[in-house]
Amino acid sequence: MVTGQETGDVALLDESIKRSSNTRQRVFSGIQPSGNFHLGNYLGAIRNWVDQQAAFDNIFCIVNLHALSQATTRETLRDNTLNLANVLLAAGLDPSQSIIFVQSDVREHAELCWLLSSVTQFGELRRMTQFKDKAGSKDEQVSAALLFYPVLQAADILLYDTNLVPVGEDQKQHIELTRDIAARFNMRYGETFVLPQPDIKATGARVMSLEDPTKKMSKSDANPNASIALTDDPDTIRRKIRRAVTDSGSDVVAAPDKPALTNLLTIYSLLSEEPISIIEARYAGKGYGAFKSDLADVVVSSLSSIQARLAELNQHPEIARSVLVDGAERARARAVAKMIQVRDSMGLGLY
């Protein structure tokens, strides 16, 4: 049962939060602590978060509960969580402008997931593309957490009255389901949740594999040459770009029949902040070799400051730990206030 003191404390905290953020739309972003973070993660998501954090009321969550949908170990999960926190800070996320925290440190995420499951249909979850892709023909053997993944994701988003969720096109289905769940809840229990919108960037949302430009650059790819890790040294970066697949012909142009060159040009354009047309003109008649050599220099130069800061943070893990503790406290204040409203809407806990 919620005490009067707790309700009063939450109300004061929530009012303070509202005063500080009532002129900005709220953005929630979650990223899973698994695998080695790469250039696609940075260009497709993290850099956009950094660039727009001053314009929005931002909440960035390391979703370690989602990571449990795949087999992991205690040590691996802890190491990956701290590593991701260091990556986010090294890339430029500012704790004074944004809330950065670990999902499991705010227990309201798990509680809301269960409550939202009561208004989520089994058929909706079974039809989710991510579940079908990861389960494959072994859907009878995969973890139930994989099936419930979208419900927890909906809880993550709805818990904070999120307006915008930065995602790639491949995650749009999850946001649509989140909206359906929220609308169904609101219809049954009264207006409780904000219906979020996906924030899909025109470029950079899908950086593709260096080995197969029809596939998204992925942390889970077994081929280390398919992606450029944020921790790769300059020689490794140059080798991977030199070996990256190309299309037939020798013209450095972006076109539907040149997916490999289109991907490499996109990376060059995003990092150099030059239009693709300018880059195409620069390498007209020069062939792939000169283009790849310069692209490697652009990547090495662009990642150098991030790598230097990441090395410092790895030497001082207490920095990230302090940020995460503070972020959890700030996120929890919002989450507790929202869950009081949710429980009241559903008739839970107050007699």
Distance CA 64, CA 32 (A): 6
Angle between helices 4-21 and 317-346 (to 10 degrees): 110
Domain that holds residue 79: 4-205+317-346
Q: How far is the C-alpha of 41 from the C-alpha of 43, rounded, in Å?
A: 6
pLDDT at position 5 = 44
How many other CB atoms are found less than 10 A from the CB of residue 126?
12
Q: Are residues 175 and 307 in the same domain?
A: no
Report residue 117 as tokens: 């499951």
Q: Are residues 28 and 61 in the same domain?
A: yes
229 and 150 within one domain: no
- Does residue 181 sit in the same domain as residue 168? yes
Q: Is residue 219 part of a domain?
A: no
Q: Identify whether residues 78 and 169 lie together within a single domain.
A: yes
Contacts of 183 (CB under 8 A, 6+ apart): 195
Q: Is residue 214 part of a domain?
A: no
CB 21, CB 333: distance < 8 Å: no
- 12: domain CATH number is 3.40.50.620
Total domains present in the chain: 2
Residue type, 148: F
Catalytic residues: 134, 216, 219
pLDDT at residue number 145: 79
* Mean pLDDT estimate for the chain: 89
Amino acid 222: pLDDT? 83
Same domain membership, residue 24 and residue 76: yes
Each residue's pLDDT tens digit, 214-265: 998 988 788 999 999 999 999 999 999 999 999 998 899 999 999 999 999 9
Same domain, 35 and 137: yes
Reference 87, options 50, 58, 52, 54; nearest CA is 50
**Are 261 and 147 members of one domain?**
no
User: What is the CB neighbour count within 10 angstroms for residue 237?
Assistant: 19
Q: Are residues 48 and 192 in the same domain?
A: yes
pLDDT given for residue 132 in this prediction: 66
Q: Do 49 and 75 have their domain in common?
A: yes
Q: Strand runs (DSSP E) across 172-283, as ranges?
A: 197-199
Question: pLDDT digit of tens for each residue in the chain (351 aa)?
Answer: 344 444 444 444 444 444 444 578 999 999 999 878 999 999 988 999 999 999 999 999 999 999 998 888 999 999 999 999 999 999 999 999 999 999 999 999 999 999 999 999 988 888 877 776 766 666 666 788 788 899 999 999 999 999 999 987 778 888 999 999 999 999 999 999 999 999 987 655 678 999 999 998 988 788 999 999 999 999 999 999 999 999 998 899 999 999 999 999 999 999 999 999 999 999 999 989 999 999 999 999 999 999 999 999 999 999 999 999 999 999 999 999 999 999 999 999 766
| Helix, strand, coil fractions of the chain, as percent rounded to 5 | 60, 10, 30
336 and 274 co-located in one domain: no
Using N-to-C axis directions, what is the helix angle for 287-315 and 74-91, rounded to 10°? 110
Residues 299, 347: Cα–Cα separation, whole Å: 55
Its pTM stands at: 0.86
* CATH number, domain containing residue 261: 1.10.240.10
Residue that is written with structure tokens 């503790």 in the block? 325
112 contact partners, CB below 8 Å, separation of at least 6 = 155, 158, 159, 339, 342
**Is 321 within a domain?**
yes
Residues 260 and 323 reside in one and the same domain: no
Q: Angle 229-173-268 (CA atoms, 0-180°, nearest 5)? A: 35
Residue type present at position 199? D
Q: What is the DSSP string of 231-252?
A: T--HHHHHHHHHHS---SSS--
In order of 132, 156, 335, 336, 350, the CA distances from 162 in angstroms are 27, 9, 12, 15, 26
Integer Cα distance of 53 and 25 in angstroms = 11
Residue 213 forms part of a structural domain: no
Residue 332 covered by a domain: yes
